[in-house]
Amino acid sequence: MKKYKQNGEVAYLCDLGPVIVEINEILKGLRKWARPERHFSGLLCFPSMITKVYKMPYGVSLIISPFNFPILLTLGVLAAAVSGGNTAVLKTSSKSAASTRALQKLIADVYPEEYVTLLDGGHDVAEFCLEERFDKIFYTGSPAVAKHVLEKASRNLTSVALELGGETGNWCIVRKDADLRDAARKIAFLKLCNAGQVCININQIAVAEEAAEAFLGELKREFIRQIGEKPEENEEYPKLISAAVYEKCERLTEQYRDRVVFGGTGNREALRFAPTVLYPIGPDEAIVQNELFCPMLPVVPFPDAEVESILDRIAKREHPLSMYVFTSDRKWAERVMQTQQFGGGCVNEVCVHMMVRGVPFNGAGHSGMGAYHGEWGFREFTHPQTVLFGKTRGNLPLREHPYSGKTGEKKRTLLKWFER
């Protein structure tokens, strides 16, 4: 029973618990977020001095969620939609069928179908939904499908939010001055999480060559400590979602067999493939040009003094959803985080930035658009509607004709004064 309890704890940590945190944050803050904002209209609007901004729901939203965290990425987004006053149609992944069935029952028990309903099925059902007119679409998944979603939404000029994994994957940089044991421990944890099937996971690591051998030794020890010497036989280790993903791991392992320094083994029947470290990998090889979304982990060595060249390569590729750096040079780390473009990230840590209350979770470019979590989710699913309350008396003729002669000059003088 112990292994099932531990699997349940991982599911709670990554998929169930964050939904509860999200809902609690919404319940605590919603009254404040939804309150109309009151603004001073300014002297140019005299005597109409009061303007309000109302937070209006878009209307009927379509939420398309993926397989990897089927509870969090469905109910977490739904919580944001409902907090904004929207109704919702949910389209969950056909790959996580058991979760879809559980969610379908939950939604039917809680909501009347005219408020929230969940549709089961494959790509044909998703395509059917995209042919319909919605007021808001929120899609989580791959950049390739996101382009199709945007194209469909554009026909009705529907507002769209996208949370994507990033076309060229998320980078992690380990400098020679990093705490290598700490970095290895955290990186191993994240790579083991859902067997690498996580949108904010590390796709490839750039490691200072001066510390590469020591880091690889620490990383191997951490994988073994956390999941054992044969993770493919450990029932605590998550399965891959399909045979196709397993076959991709096998294919990449064979392609880079001479550079496999850890892992490279799997259990086809159980759909488990060990975390597989590939070293050394060049910064421009094909395997570090695409999001892997699996347990493969390429490691790119670089001279520490040439770290800027690695940053230049990252900047020239599509924006990642996450970025992680490990270093003792806080000033350098802050400069990197302020100059690179990505969704969110960590310094000397991994993934926990998405657990911080009050901050957005989002992507940029090929890793997404829009944001959610807490108040940011409420904002994403509402339209700020500005309304000025006019006065019927005391209105000045500044905006009215005539604009010429001495009258015009007086008006211009007053307008310039009001604009200060």
Report the sign of the C-alpha dihedral through residues 72, 354, 86, 135, in that order.
negative
Cα angle value 250/252/254 (rounded, 5°) = 70
**Same domain, yes or no: 223 and 158:** no
Residue 294 has pLDDT above 80, yes or no: yes
Helix (H, G, I), strand (E, B) or coil at 171: strand
Q: What pLDDT is attached to residue 166?
A: 86
Q: What pLDDT is attached to residue 391?
A: 96
Q: Which of 224, 227, 169, 233 is nearest to 198 (CA)?
A: 169
Residues 160-203 have pLDDT tens digits of 999 998 889 999 999 999 999 999 999 999 999 999 999 999 99
Distance CA 416, CA 276 (A): 67
Mean pLDDT of 221-241: 96
Identify the band that residue 7 occupies on the pLDDT scale cut at 50, 70 and 90.
Answer: low
Expressed as residue numbers, the domain containing 144 is 11-166+369-384
Q: What pLDDT is attached to residue 2?
A: 39
**Same domain, yes or no: 141 and 211:** no
**Same domain, yes or no: 139 and 152:** yes
163 is catalytic: yes
**Same domain, yes or no: 233 and 340:** yes
Q: What pLDDT is attached to residue 414?
A: 87
Domain membership flag for residue 194: yes
Dihedral-angle region of residue 373 (phi above 0 means left; psi in -120 to 50 means alpha; beta otherwise): left
Sheet of 159-164: strands edge to edge?
Answer: 116-119, 87-91, 60-64, 136-141, 159-164, 368-369
167 is catalytic: no
Domain membership flag for residue 6: no
Identify the band that residue 6 occupies on the pLDDT scale cut at 50, 70 and 90.
Answer: very low
Mean pLDDT of 400-414: 89
Mean pLDDT of 241-267: 98
Distance CA 264, CA 272 (A): 11
17 phi/psi in degrees, rounded to 5:
-55, -45
Q: What pLDDT is attached to residue 398?
A: 86
65: CATH:
3.40.605.10
Domain membership flag for residue 4: no
Q: State how many domains the chain has.
A: 3
Residues 332-378 have pLDDT tens digits of 999 999 999 999 999 999 999 999 999 999 999 999 999 999 999 99
Domain membership flag for residue 36: yes
Residues 309-325 have pLDDT tens digits of 999 999 999 999 999 99
Residue 1 has pLDDT above 70, yes or no: no
Identify the band that residue 141 occupies on the pLDDT scale cut at 50, 70 and 90.
Answer: very high
335: CATH:
3.40.309.10
How many CB atoms lie under 10 A from the CB of residue 269?
Answer: 7
Report the sign of the C-alpha dihedral through residues 342, 344, 346, 352, in that order.
negative
Residue 297 has pLDDT above 80, yes or no: yes
**Same domain, yes or no: 162 and 178:** no
**Same domain, yes or no: 29 and 151:** yes
**Same domain, yes or no: 212 and 329:** yes
Find the catalytic residue in 22, 25, 163, 167.
163
Cβ(150)–Cβ(130) below 8 Å = no
**Same domain, yes or no: 219 and 142:** no
Average pLDDT, the chain: 95
Identify the band that residue 415 occupies on the pLDDT scale cut at 50, 70 and 90.
Answer: confident
Q: Which of 349, 351, 348, 323 is nearest to 338 (CA)?
A: 323
**Same domain, yes or no: 59 and 87:** yes
Distance CA 165, CA 367 (A): 5
Structure tokens at 315: 């900047």
Domain membership flag for residue 5: no
**Same domain, yes or no: 205 and 333:** yes
**Same domain, yes or no: 274 and 375:** no
Q: State how beta strands 266-267 and 272-273 pair.
A: antiparallel
For 370-385, b where at least 16 C-beta lie within 10 A, e where not — what string? bbbbbbbbbbbbbeee
**Same domain, yes or no: 196 and 120:** no
Domain membership flag for residue 2: no
Domain membership flag for residue 362: no
Q: Where are the beta strands (DSSP E) in 150-256?
A: 159-164, 171-174, 204-208
Residues 84-109 have pLDDT tens digits of 999 999 999 999 999 999 999 999 99
